[in-house]
């Protein structure tokens, strides 16, 4: 579906983190729906560099971009020389900022603040210089254990990732009303869908449970998983929100979810229906009690009213559309 009718001919779009999950889906949306636009991807791509928790520092993967015909640049948003190169060699009309240290379990506070917050300011300054509207990835992690439904203004982050995203949201207040561009932060809730596999252990439990089932294993759930609720939002609705935000006449921070909370038990039950399995669930003690969000649900009233966003995918619909890709990835990446 084409979410805006604006002519993007001769427009140049920068997507940071464009080899990652959401960034790569944005790149293909513009390639398929607005082929006259020029799309430039900046991504640090993955290397062997890891964080102290053992997870990769960067999840960008070339396979997320197979079939992409735009320009791809390998670079780090912390590199001021790289940002100078972008400034001097392109004239951007829109910037989608998806690059981040996105691992919520990362302990490197210095790297998190430097990458997520300080580099964001440099990119904001680039956007202002180019007169380019900016849409950036904030996060539902800003809310921590705040009461549901979570509303903008009721934040209580419980990790440095959520804190860094909240500081990004505060930073744009230094720009709003003082510059001629619009800046919109989108607080993603639990996103799932195609091109997330290379996030490894940080990919959604939808694909992780899907692959458990396809391998013939009983799904392992935390005890009381029918009471652990999340606002699971399909990638197509996230792309819709981004594209509608790019032409918004206002700036601000908005939630992106479905406005409905579903349980992890629902997830496994829907997957079993779609895959055609009936394995017995195994329930294990939850080691994250006291450090774990048990109920997230996005208040999307403002997102709908201001951005014209309307989620199209119920949880059943999203999984049904996604399951073919889950199977393909299992055959081509997991089993090999």
For 22-39, write each residue's pLDDT tens digit: 999 999 999 999 999 999
In the predicted structure, residue 291 carries a pLDDT above the cut 80:
no
Query: Please, what sign has the CA dihedral across residues 121, 11, 184, 162?
Result: negative
In the predicted structure, residue 157 carries a pLDDT above the cut 90:
yes
Q: Which H or E run contains 167? A: helix 160-171
> 290 falls in which pLDDT band (50, 70, 90)?
low
Q: Which CATH code fits 12-193+233-257+296-312?
A: 3.40.50.720
In the predicted structure, residue 56 carries a pLDDT above the cut 90:
no
Residue 276 contacts residue 332 (beta carbons within 8 Å): no
In the predicted structure, residue 63 carries a pLDDT above the cut 80:
yes
Q: What is the mean pLDDT of residues 143-150?
A: 94
Q: Cα dist. 214→150, 211, 271, 305 in Å? A: 34, 5, 10, 41
Q: What is the mean pLDDT of residues 231-235?
A: 98
Q: What is the mean pLDDT of residues 56-78?
A: 96
Chain position carrying tokens 């119920």: 314
Annotated active-site residue in 199, 244, 309, 322:
199
How confident is the model at residue 117, as a pLDDT?
98
Residues in contact with 28: Cβ distance below 8 Å, sequence separation at least 6, in sequence order: 67, 68
> 6 falls in which pLDDT band (50, 70, 90)?
confident
How confident is the model at residue 292, as a pLDDT?
67
**Residue 199 known to be catalytic:** yes
- Tell me the HSE value of 174 on the side-chain side, using a 13 A CA sphere: 10
**Residue 114 known to be catalytic:** no
Q: How many CB atoms lie within 10 A of CB 307?
A: 24
Q: What is the mean pLDDT of residues 41-62?
A: 93
In the predicted structure, residue 135 carries a pLDDT above the cut 70:
yes
> 336 falls in which pLDDT band (50, 70, 90)?
confident
DSSP assigned state of 48: S
Structure tokens at 242: 């981004």
Structure tokens at 137: 């990835």
Annotated active-site residue in 3, 136, 143, 161:
161
How confident is the model at residue 294, as a pLDDT?
86
Domain boundaries, the chain: 12-193+233-257+296-312
């Amino acid at each position: 579906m084409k979410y805006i009718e604006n002519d993007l001919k001769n427009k140049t779009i920068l997507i940071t983190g464009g080899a990652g999950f959401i960034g790569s889906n944005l790149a293909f949306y513009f390639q398929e729906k607005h082929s006259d636009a020029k799309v430039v991807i900046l991504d640090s791509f993955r290397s062997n560099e890891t964080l102290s928790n053992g997870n990769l520092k960067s999840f960008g993967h070339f396979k997320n971009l197979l079939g992409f015909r735009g320009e791809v640049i390998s670079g780090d948003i912390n590199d001021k020389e790289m940002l100078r190169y972008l400034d001097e060699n392109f004239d951007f009309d829109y910037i989608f900022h998806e690059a981040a240290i996105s691992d919520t379990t990362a302990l490197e506070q210095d790297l998190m603040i430097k990458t997520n917050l300080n580099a964001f300011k440099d990119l904001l300054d680039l956007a202002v210089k180019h007169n380019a509207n900016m849409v950036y990835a904030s996060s539902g992690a800003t809310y921590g254990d705040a009461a549901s439904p979570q509303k903008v203004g009721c934040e209580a982050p419980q990790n440095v990732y959520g804190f860094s995203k909240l500081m990004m949201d505060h930073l744009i207040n230094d720009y709003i009303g003082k510059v001629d561009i619009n800046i919109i932060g989108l607080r993603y809730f639990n996103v799932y869908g195609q091109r997330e596999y290379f996030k490894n252990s940080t990919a959604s439990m939808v694909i992780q449970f899907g692959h458990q089932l396809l391998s013939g294993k009983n799904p392992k759930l935390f005890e009381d998983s029918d009471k652990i609720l999340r606002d699971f939002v399909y990638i197509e609705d996230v792309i819709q929100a981004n594209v509608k935000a790019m032409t918004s006449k206002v700036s601000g921070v908005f939630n992106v979810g479905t406005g409905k909370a579903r349980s992890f038990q629902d997830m496994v039950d829907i997957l079993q229906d779609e895959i055609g399995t009936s394995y017995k669930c195994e329930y294990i003690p939850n080691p994250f009690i006291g450090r774990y969000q048990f109920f997230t649900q996005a208040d999307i009233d403002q997102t709908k009213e201001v951005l014209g966003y309307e989620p199209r995918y119920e949880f059943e619909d999203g999984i049904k559309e996604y399951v073919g890709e889950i199977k393909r990835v299992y055959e081509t990446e997991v089993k090999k």
